[in-house]
């Protein structure tokens, strides 16, 4: 594995490969320290898409901004929980704790979240949001398995699902406490 060498895929190729759960793309992103800003861009754009998809249903720029922020905070909590669970609670013997590699891979695992913007179309909002959430979970499993050098996909599933459930609980709590009133 080349660490920090030249990128083998363009940003668009990485987005397509990440959405397709292509292991080679996750390995490419893991090894390319220059992909950190790209991964951050994916997370921010995915969060904005989530804000548009959720906030667009209830209208108004405040709602869009609120839901975008909740999506970003939920991703950040998921990433942190994944790190703690995957590296400290359920590591395999060969697991290395490189935060940058993990953040880059799980950042790109947010690629399916870009489609959450389609949630602004009310008839398809619920299915779009459910499908993209599950798709992001599947991409996260691939990303975690690669970044933490797991041999077991089952372990990656346990790590990701546990973090996902806790992050969703966090997002719901934020929503219940701070959500704007819908009339």
How do residues 6-40 score in pLDDT, each as one tens digit?
547 899 999 999 999 999 999 999 999 999 999 99
Return the pLDDT at 2. Answer: 44
How do residues 147-182 score in pLDDT, each as one tens digit?
999 999 999 999 999 999 998 888 888 778 876 665
The yes-or-no verdict on residue 3 having pLDDT over 60 is no
Q: What is the DSSP letter of 181?
A: P
Asked if residue 96 is part of any domain, the answer here is: yes
How do residues 109-152 score in pLDDT, each as one tens digit?
999 999 999 998 888 888 999 999 999 999 999 999 999 999 99
Residue 181: exposed, middle, or buried by beta-carbon count in 10 A (0-12, 13-18, 19+)?
A: exposed
Q: How many domains does the chain have?
A: 1
Asked if residue 67 is part of any domain, the answer here is: yes
Asked if residue 83 is part of any domain, the answer here is: yes
Structure tokens at 23: 């292991």
Task: Tell me the Cα Rg of the chain.
Answer: 16
Return the pLDDT at 160. Answer: 96
pLDDT band at 72; cut points 50, 70, 90: very high
Asked if residue 181 is part of any domain, the answer here is: no
Asked if residue 183 is part of any domain, the answer here is: no
Kindly report whether the global pTM for this prediction surpasses the value 0.85. yes
Asked if residue 52 is part of any domain, the answer here is: yes
The yes-or-no verdict on residue 5 having pLDDT over 60 is no
Asked if residue 66 is part of any domain, the answer here is: yes
Give the range of the structural domain holding residue 55, as residue numbers without chain letter.
11-176
Asked if residue 3 is part of any domain, the answer here is: no
């Amino acid at each position: 594995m080349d660490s920090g060498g030249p990128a083998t895929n363009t940003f668009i190729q990485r987005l397509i490969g990440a959405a397709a759960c292509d292991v080679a793309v996750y390995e490419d992103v893991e090894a390319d320290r220059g992909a950190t800003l790209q991964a951050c861009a994916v997370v921010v754009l995915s969060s904005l898409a989530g804000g548009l998809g959720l906030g667009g249903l209830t209208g108004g720029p405040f709602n869009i901004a609120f839901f975008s922020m909740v999506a970003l905070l939920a991703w950040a909590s998921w990433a942190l929980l994944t790190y703690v669970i995957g590296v400290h609670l359920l590591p395999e013997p060969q697991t290395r704790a490189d935060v940058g590699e993990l953040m880059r891979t799980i950042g790109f695992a947010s690629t399916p979240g870009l489609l959450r913007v389609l949630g602004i179309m009310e008839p398809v909002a619920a299915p779009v949001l459910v499908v993209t959430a599950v798709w992001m979970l599947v991409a996260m499993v691939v990303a975690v398995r690669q970044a933490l050098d797991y041999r077991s996909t089952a372990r990656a599933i346990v790590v990701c699902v546990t973090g996902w459930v806790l992050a969703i609980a966090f997002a719901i709590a934020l929503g219940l406490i701070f959500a704007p009133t819908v009339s």
